Structure 1
Amino acid sequence: MTRIGPASELGPGSLTRSGRYAVGNNGNHFAVTRKCRHLGGDLDEGSIDADGCLVCPWHAAKYDVQTGRMVRGPQGIFAKIPGLGALFKSITRVVPLGRATVEVRDGDVHLVDGE
């Protein structure tokens, strides 16, 4: 088990890094592996959108943190390439982001285990 920090410092909409994981709070604490499946953007530098999804800081690909699957492909110039978003979304059906269990104990957020 790895201590992330005080739960008060990881409020809704917050993200931080813990080893290979991006740890965040979208109303619930979560942890997913940090590297975007598109071009390896560091997801702990991204954001959490209104849907509670993790958004890549590089090209705005969007991930469901419960499943690790990409739910919107890369945006910007990449969104204009036919089939690219669908390709990356299908890749994450087979190889989703890794996920880890996160618990709050005694006011601290802990990374318990990971896939």
Structure 2
Amino acid sequence: MSAPQRVGTAADLSPGKVVGVGRYAVGNANGRYFAVTRKCRHLGADLAGGNIDENGCLVCPWHHSAYDVGTGRMVRGPQGNYAKVPGLDFLYRMLTRVLPLGRKPVTERDGELYLGS
């Protein structure tokens, strides 16, 4: 088992912010810290470049798919021209029921955030 990986200070990860830490996108969704694997299930965009929407979901920077950060499941499929493809949204949402984004706990100790326990 590996040692917890430092993310940074809690003050630096304000609500709505997402950063990349190794293979994880780490963020603050309305005061709840999360870490999910960085690659979007659609075309592999780096989710660390995404943002948090009003529902606390992580939104892909490329095609605006949205992920529930608690489960790793896609809750909205690719948007733009991709949204016009019949069944594509359903396909990706079902894919992430079987293969959700990986998740890792984020812990806070003395104002510092760490991946792992």
- TM > 0.5 between the two? yes
1:58 aligned onto 2:65: no
The residue correspondences of 1:1-115 to structure 2 (distance < 5 A) are: 1-26=4-29, 27-112=31-116
Counterpart Cα distance in 1 of 2:109 and 2:21: 17
1:85: how far off? 0.7
| Structure 1 or 2: more strand by fraction | 1
Long gaps (5+) in structure 1:
none
1:66-113 superposed Cα distances (whole Å, 9 cap, x missing partner):
000000000000000000010000000000000001001010010016
Counterpart Cα distance in 2 of 1:43 and 1:3: 19
Counterpart Cα distance in 1 of 2:8 and 2:106: 12
Which contiguous aligned blocks of 4+ residues in structure 1 show a shift greater than 2 angstroms? none
SS where residue 100 of structure 1 aligns? coil
User: So what's the TM-score if we normalise by structure 2?
Assistant: 0.95
SS where residue 11 of structure 1 aligns? coil
Long gaps (5+) in structure 2:
none
Aligned residues with identical type, % of pairs: 61
1:47: how far off? 0.4
Pairwise CA RMSD of aligned residues? 0.7
